[in-house]
């Protein structure tokens, strides 16, 4: 049986180009988000939320690279492993920024922040005790 391929079908190595382009765009977005104003609690919250979203998207693209690298018989296993490590690093960063956004939002709304916030904790300002 003869199979027919179309010129629009991605090649087996097309994933590397797509991931590279996506990560470059996310790097640009990260730089823009990092440059967002953060003078007030609300601005800190918005900036942190944007950074969390970008880090989560970056983690997803590292996951695509990891998966496709392990499927690609011509790729080194070490590259897939490095992509998995990068994916988990970005997931951790996304979690950090999500938590920071929640704490900054709580501060902006004059609500207690989480204990995990450490220096961000505003419990003493609100007269809250543990």
Residue 4 lies inside a defined structural domain of this protein: no
Q: Does the structure show a pLDDT above 60 at 123?
A: no
How many distinct structural domains can be found in the chain?
A: 1
Cα–Cα distance between 80 and 122 in angstroms, integer?
42
Range of the domain at 69: 14-126
* CA 54/CA 60 separation, integer angstroms: 10
Is the Cβ–Cβ distance between 47 and 38 less than 8 Å?
yes
Report pLDDT digits (tens) over 63-102: 999 999 999 988 999 999 999 999 999 999 999 999 999 9
Contact 113, 106 (CB under 8 A): yes
Answer whether residue 69 is part of any domain.
yes
Q: CA torsion 33→93→116→128, rounded to 10°?
A: 20
User: Does a structural domain hold residue 1?
Assistant: no
Give this prediction's pTM.
Answer: 0.80
Q: Please state, for a pLDDT cut of 90, what percent of the chain lies above it.
A: 72
């Amino acid at each position: 049986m003869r199979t027919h391929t179309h010129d629009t079908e991605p090649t087996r190595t097309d994933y590397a180009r797509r991931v590279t382009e996506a990560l470059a765009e996310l790097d640009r977005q990260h730089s823009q988000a990092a440059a967002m104003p953060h003078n007030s609690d609300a601005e800190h919250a918005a900036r942190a939320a944007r950074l969390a979203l970008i880090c989560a998207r970056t983690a997803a693209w590292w996951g695509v690279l990891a998966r496709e690298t392990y499927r690609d018989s011509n790729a080194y296993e070490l590259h897939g492993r490095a992509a998995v490590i990068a994916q988990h690093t970005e997931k951790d960063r996304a979690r950090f920024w999500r938590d920071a956004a929640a704490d900054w939002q709580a501060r902006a709304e004059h609500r207690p922040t989480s204990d995990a916030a450490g220096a961000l904790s505003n419990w003493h300002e609100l007269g809250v005790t543990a």
